[in-house]
Amino acid sequence: MKRVSWGWAALLVVAALLPLLRPSGYLLDIGVNIMIFAMVAYGMNVLLGYTGQLPLAHAGFFAIGAYTVGILTLKAGWSFWLAWPAAVLLCAALGLLLGLVAFRTRGDVFAIFTLGVGVIIMLVINKWDSLTGGNEGLNGVNPPAGLEAFAQALGLKLSAGFYYLALVSLVLTVVAVARARGSTFGLSLIAIRGGEDLARSAGINVYAHKLRAMMFSTAIAGFAGGVYAVYIGFLGSAAASPAQTFTILLYLLVGGLGTLAGPLLGTALMYGLTQALQGLEDYRFLIFGPLLVVLVMFAPQGLVGLWLRERARRAVRAQGRAQAQEVNRA
């Protein structure tokens, strides 16, 4: 096993043991939120980090996933375990529809177009009273069946059950993204990021690959939305707002675009910071806005990117030293 995989395994063990240490409910809540939003960041990373397309409708898909679970469980009486996959499928299907139109455009226009779609999603959720509850939102989404029993079997509270639900979802997401990244599909996406025309000339079907990346990405957003719906229990259209998309974009940028650890690291750091700065609610975007600017100007590769670069530089230096020694010996 590579060193990186050991790091992930160690992190997973620590995260899995955390609820057994009986931390405060507040700490668990922060943990669940970080894991949920990290998933959305992973979804966004597939498109922005790997494929090089800036999608600005992700909060919309997150909300569609959440509302699908909310509506199916509350109004149609479905079980969460059925409604959740349905939400993921719906988000993938809608992602395909969006991609079919949006990927006819390139680069700049794509970003603007998806931003518009994000706003439309929010408005539709906000105005479609009979389905989504409009301004008042959806209240009282129940916890998934069996989650409380599971938590009790471990001798823990329901909140710990949610923690494990989010953890398992996050692990599934990271594994899925890592596998996709390592596959021919992932390499093709990176080739597209490098240059669409070049990728096309290498025999990659750019349009089809972008569509698949979009579906994968929106499906992850919907997957995270499903967990969010049952965890929060209340849904409002603010979950779909562009501000939410930009917040997740910030998490992703801080962590590192196109890296596997970036989305999780960035979300944990920035969400934690936001919680610590709770008293400064009025100043939040006064700090976040310039932070976005500074990041793209001076550290567009994010924290993980900086670390990788530093490691690469050290490797090059070590190699250089080894070569120099060889030359000396000869």
Partner 1 sequence: MTLFLQQLFNAAALGGVYALVALGLTLVYGVMRVPNFAHGGLYMLGAYFTFAGLTRLGWPYLLSLLVAALLVAAIAALMERFIFYPLRDAPHVQPMIAAIGVLFFMEAAIAHPRVFGPEFQTMPSPINTIVNVGGVTVTGQRLLVIAASVLVVFGLNYFLKRTLTGATIEAMSQNRQGARLVGIDTNRVGMLTFAISGALAAVAAALIAPINLVSPSMGEVMNLKVFAIIILGGMGSVPGAIVGAFLLAFAETFGGAYISTDFADVIGFAVLVLVLALKPQGLFRRSA
The residue ranges that bind partner 1 (CB under 8 A) are: 48, 52, 54, 101-102, 104-105, 107-109, 111-113, 115-117, 119-120, 123, 127, 242-243, 246, 249, 253, 282-286, 288-293, 296-297, 300
Please enumerate in sequence order all residues whose Cβ is within 8 A of that of 181, keeping only pairs 6 or more positions apart, or say none: 50, 260
CB of 45 to partner 1, least distance (A): 13
Q: Where are the alpha helices (DSSP H) in 141-234?
A: 147-153, 158-182, 184-194, 196-201, 206-232
CB of 133 to partner 1, least distance (A): 16
Q: Are 88 and 81 in contact (CB under 8 A)?
A: no
Distance CA 130, CA 138 (A): 11
The structure tokens listed for 104 are: 């006819």
Nearest of 226, 235, 206 to residue 90 by alpha carbon: 226
Neighbours of 217 (CB within 10 A): 29
CB of 285 to partner 1, least distance (A): 4
* N residues, the chain: 330
CB of 253 to partner 1, least distance (A): 7
SS3 content of the chain, % helix, strand, coil (to 5): 80, 0, 15
CB of 205 to partner 1, least distance (A): 17
Residue closer to partner 1, measured from CB, 31 or 305: 305
Residue closer to partner 1, measured from CB, 4 or 120: 120
Q: How far is CA 144 from the centre of its chain?
A: 22
Residue closer to partner 1, measured from CB, 120 or 276: 120
Residue closer to partner 1, measured from CB, 124 or 232: 124
Residue closer to partner 1, measured from CB, 170 or 253: 253
Residue closer to partner 1, measured from CB, 42 or 223: 42
Residue closer to partner 1, measured from CB, 27 or 287: 287
Beta bridge partners of 235: 138
DSSP state of 260: S
Distance CA 88, CA 226 (A): 8
Sign of the dihedral defined by the CA atoms of residues 279, 281, 283, 284, in that order? positive
CB of 222 to partner 1, least distance (A): 21
Residue 138, H or E segment:
strand 138-139
CB of 287 to partner 1, least distance (A): 9
Residue closer to partner 1, measured from CB, 25 or 289: 289
DSSP state of 141: P
Angle of CA points 111, 177, 306, to nearest 5°: 75
CB of 112 to partner 1, least distance (A): 4
